[in-house]
Amino acid sequence: MKIKINSASEEILYRKLLLKINTSNNIIIMKTMFLCLFLSISFAFVSEKTGWLEVDWKFIFIPALLVLQIIIISTAIKNRYKKY
């Protein structure tokens, strides 16, 4: 995906933002979120097709949000009690 950048200062800001987002810890969190989302959707799809479970597709993103909350809380607690 190519993003149009108007000036050099916008390009610098864009690169700084990208560098802040693209850390190893954030990549692990994003992979975990995508895996959880993929597993939720595939389980719901198989359950719906086999008739084993009737799925309300509005609630399919809840497991991924729960994983995100657990990661955020555990990171905050870990940083809170970090020894310097």
What would the pLDDT profile of 25-56 be if each residue is shown by its tens digit?
A: 778 878 887 888 888 888 888 888 888 878 78
State the average pLDDT over residues 60-79.
82
Does residue 14 lie in a domain region?
no
Does residue 7 lie in a domain region?
no
Decide if 53 contacts 47 (C-beta within 8 A): yes
Does residue 9 lie in a domain region?
no
CA nearest neighbour of 36 among 69, 3, 4 = 69
| Assessment of whether the complete model's pTM goes beyond 0.75 | no
Q: How confident is the model at residue 2 (pLDDT cuts 50, 70, 90)?
A: low
Quote the domain boundaries for residue 65.
23-80
Domain count, the chain: 1
